[in-house]
Structure 1
Amino acid sequence: MERKDQMDLFGAVALIAFALNLAFNQVVISVTNGGFSPVFQAGVRSAGAVLVLLIWMRLRGVGFHVPRAAWLGGIISGLLFSLEFMCLFSALDLTTVSRASVIFYTMPVWLALIAHVFFPGERLTGPKTIGLILAMAGVAIALADRSGGKVSWTGDLLALTSSLCWAGIVVCVRLTPLAKVPPAQQLMFQVLISAPILLILAPLFGPLIRDVAPIHVAGLLFQIIAVASLGFLAWFWLMSIYPSSSVASFSFLSPVFSVLLGWILLSENVAPSVWGALVLVASGIYLINRKPRVPA
């Protein structure tokens, strides 16, 4: 498909579906934690994604040649990827999907702050600053509210750490020669490095296997195929077709869908303050990613 200058119906539907897929994945991780320990689950997911990517690359005739200059960036992104999902999977074991998602999906906030310092062409504008204030107020509200059932300071801080690691990966890619490496190879670096790290560390966090049932195995397969490999490849493909600002503007949907699915599918008790935090965070992300209007 040829490069497009603006979003069309197909792109909008595809990005909404991707946001829904990511949100549903938060629910899947939380449920699958019932059968596998979080870090072990994350390690198996990365290992499975390596196999799926290898098959996909073989079928597509895509090689794994990466310039030596990009190796350092690839290794750093892989280490950040390991920490990101070790923290996120553990967070979803300690707190609710709604709380973890509101905090985790603030990644554009931290990225905007970092970009203001390191990328001269991405200074904070008025709308972006308002968006930052709104999103950070939402996070503060979410952290301050300790009511409800499954609430954990550790879980909240782990979700925040995973969000910062996610932003760190984006910055790493942009500041290193890894930016010139095709998306499939970038993703392969991340899952290939994270798989052994997570699997080696997993025994330090308790028993690897909990009460495994078919639903937990199905959840793990869903993560491997629909998210960690083919899902992210689809997102990279959309990024190659549509303007990055237009693609990013849909990111506010993921925390919205996550909270709704946690409420609907897991019967989570979402406190009014969390709904309020969600509105602030989603609004802030939208303003941060909104493309400024060009005067006629």
Structure 2
Amino acid sequence: MTAPINFRMGTAEWGILVLLSILWGGSFFFLGVALREVPPFTLVLARLALSALLMLAFMAATRRSIPRRAGLWPALFLLALLNTALPFSLFAYAQTEIASGLASILNATTPLWGVIVAHLFTPDEKATHGNLVGVAAGIAGVAVMIGGSAFSGPHASLPAQLACLGATFCYALAGVYGRRFRDWGVGPLDVATGQLIAGALLILPVALLIDAPWRLALPGATTLFAVAGLALLSTTVAYFLYFSLIARAGATNALLVTLLIPVTAILLGTLLLGETLLPRHWAGMVLIAAGLVAIDGRLFDRLRAR
């Protein structure tokens, strides 16, 4: 029997959330670099195939194997469609039309979908007033950070933005669907490995048919490093942490990572690239932090207790 999910996150869960936001925030940068030389579906295939190989190598080294259970692989293929093949392809397409920063900001709508999907399809993650207030504050914070100009002009393609929103809806569905593997006793490492294998198999015929990757020129070293970072850090390590967080704190809490990704992207840009934070970025961060506090709920509980 599995232990009950602790929806009130502790220090360890928040640590995983922050680390995950850094890894996934970096994925938008890696995508932006790699898409200069590699077409979207081929890039998604490389990302998933390399990640699957890394996970299989780790499992072989530790003498682990994916459990055999009736219905497990069909469920893994559906999870892979919702959590990797489809959203990865939508974001890769979107970043051929819009900036990686805007894509990462649109990615922050995931918790909004997550609260709705979890409320409709789970018995124990019903939306509370704190959830709704927190998500609203987080979305408001993201909107303040980007300002209105990011959604207009020659580099703000509406189809690309809609593709990002479609991807975030897929992530929300996958977050809730992924809970069943915990109930089946399938661990985070097994789920991550299985969905990466399934995702690579799903995207393989699409990449072969549309991109014809055998005709492409060999990418440069910078692109290869970006693909490696995308596969190792932003996919292999990130998905293991993600499924661990779902098992520990539930789907709604796990999806909060997307609210932190724009924050970490701006902080990394400031620390590593010398970019400057504008006042609206600080204001947005304050709103996002307030949203996370509202969803967590512990501060309000303590104030009420006093």
Query: TM class, shorter-chain normalised?
Result: 0.7 to 0.9
Alpha-carbon distance in 2 for matches of 1:51, 1:42 = 14
Judged with a 3 Å threshold, the aligned counterparts in structure 2 of structure 1 residues 83 and 37 are, in CA distance, closer, same or farther, namely same
Indicate conservation of the 8 Å contact 1:52/1:229, yes or no: yes
Within a 5 Å distance, the mapping from 1:167-246 to structure 2 comes to 167-175=172-180, 179-203=184-208, 205-206=210-211, 208=213, 209=216, 212-237=219-244, 243=249
- The alpha-carbon deviation at position 167 of structure 1 amounts to 1.0
The amino acid across from 2:38 in the alignment is F
1:282 paired residue number: 288
2:37 paired residue number: 35
Alpha-carbon distance in 2 for matches of 1:143, 1:198 = 35
After superposition, give the CA deviation of every residue in 1:70-123 in whole Å (9 maximum; x if it has no partner). 333212112222111111111122211221111113212111111112223322
- The alpha-carbon deviation at position 190 of structure 1 amounts to 1.5
Alpha-carbon distance in 2 for matches of 1:48, 1:178 = 28
Higher alpha-carbon deviation: 70-79 or 152-161: 70-79
Indicate conservation of the 8 Å contact 2:141/2:286, yes or no: yes
Judged with a 3 Å threshold, the aligned counterparts in structure 2 of structure 1 residues 136 and 23 are, in CA distance, closer, same or farther, namely closer
Higher alpha-carbon deviation: 67-76 or 82-91: 67-76
Higher alpha-carbon deviation: 251-260 or 137-146: 137-146
Higher alpha-carbon deviation: 192-201 or 131-140: 131-140
Judged with a 3 Å threshold, the aligned counterparts in structure 2 of structure 1 residues 75 and 165 are, in CA distance, closer, same or farther, namely same
Judged with a 3 Å threshold, the aligned counterparts in structure 2 of structure 1 residues 135 and 237 are, in CA distance, closer, same or farther, namely closer
- The alpha-carbon deviation at position 218 of structure 1 amounts to 0.6
**RMSD of aligned alpha carbons:** 3.8
The answer on 1:117 being equivalent to 2:116 is: no
Alpha-carbon distance in 2 for matches of 1:266, 1:150 = 22
Aligned length: 291
Higher alpha-carbon deviation: 215-224 or 264-273: 264-273
Alpha-carbon distance in 1 for matches of 2:93, 2:115 = 26
1:165 paired residue number: 170
| Shift >6 Å, 4+ stretches | 138-144, 245-248, 262-273
After superposition, give the CA deviation of every residue in 1:125-149 in whole Å (9 maximum; x if it has no partner). 2222223434555678879753355
TM-score, length-normalised on structure 2? 0.77
The answer on 1:253 being equivalent to 2:256 is: no
Alpha-carbon distance in 2 for matches of 1:106, 1:77 = 20
Judged with a 3 Å threshold, the aligned counterparts in structure 2 of structure 1 residues 89 and 264 are, in CA distance, closer, same or farther, namely farther
The answer on 1:130 being equivalent to 2:133 is: yes
Alpha-carbon distance in 2 for matches of 1:44, 1:60 = 24
Indicate conservation of the 8 Å contact 1:36/1:212, yes or no: yes
The answer on 1:151 being equivalent to 2:156 is: yes
Structure 2 unaligned residues grouped into runs of 5+: 1-5
TM-score, length-normalised on structure 1? 0.79
Alpha-carbon distance in 2 for matches of 1:239, 1:113 = 17
Alpha-carbon distance in 1 for matches of 2:122, 2:277 = 38
Higher alpha-carbon deviation: 250-259 or 216-225: 250-259
Alpha-carbon distance in 1 for matches of 2:296, 2:154 = 35
